[in-house]
């Protein structure tokens, strides 16, 4: 699942991931993500931090608090730098990956494949 409010980024990610055989779904804000993720239980979430309604930190916290979603891997993809340590020191909010924008599709796909165990 892609959680991102920038439609251009969503379009690029969707095309790139679908061309590699991945199914994608999208939430354009944190509230929508929190409604959709528990229902569809995606294999992985690509999460922007700066999204409307509920920010990415809030989304990640809620996902990690719920028994239904706590094991879904989250990759943070953000333009806000120097936040990696936040996810390493706060108990319960660790993420499977952290990428800073600008980031290449190749790097995003490599991180997804690393986490999901695909090559």
Q: What is the pTM of this model?
A: 0.90
pLDDT for the residue 89: 46
Q: How many CA atoms lie within 13 A of 49 on its CB side?
A: 19
Q: What's the CATH class of domain 2-116? A: alpha beta
Domain spans in the chain, listed from the N-terminal domain onward: 2-116
State how far the Cα of 105 lies from the Cα of 39, in Å rounded to an integer: 27
pLDDT for the residue 118: 67
For range 15-31, the mean pLDDT? 97
In our burial notation (b when 16+ CB lie closer than 10 A, e otherwise), range 4-26 reads bbeeeebeebbebbeeeebeeeb
Is the pLDDT higher at 5 or at 91? Answer: 5
pLDDT tens per residue, range 51-100: 999 999 899 999 999 999 999 999 999 887 766 656 654 555 678 988 88
DSSP category for residue 105: H
pLDDT for the residue 85: 59
């Amino acid at each position: 699942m892609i959680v991102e409010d920038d439609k251009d980024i969503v379009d690029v990610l969707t095309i790139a991931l679908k061309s590699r055989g991945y199914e994608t779904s999208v939430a354009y804000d944190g509230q929508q993500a929190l409604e959709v993720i528990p229902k569809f239980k995606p294999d992985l979430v690509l999460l922007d931090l700066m999204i409307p309604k509920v920010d990415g930190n809030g989304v990640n916290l809620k996902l990690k608090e719920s028994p239904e979603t706590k094991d879904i891997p989250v990759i943070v993809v953000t333009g806000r730098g120097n936040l990696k340590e936040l996810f390493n020191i706060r108990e319960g909010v660790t993420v499977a990956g952290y990428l800073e924008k600008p980031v290449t599709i190749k790097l995003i796909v490599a991180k997804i494949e690393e986490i999901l165990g695909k090559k």
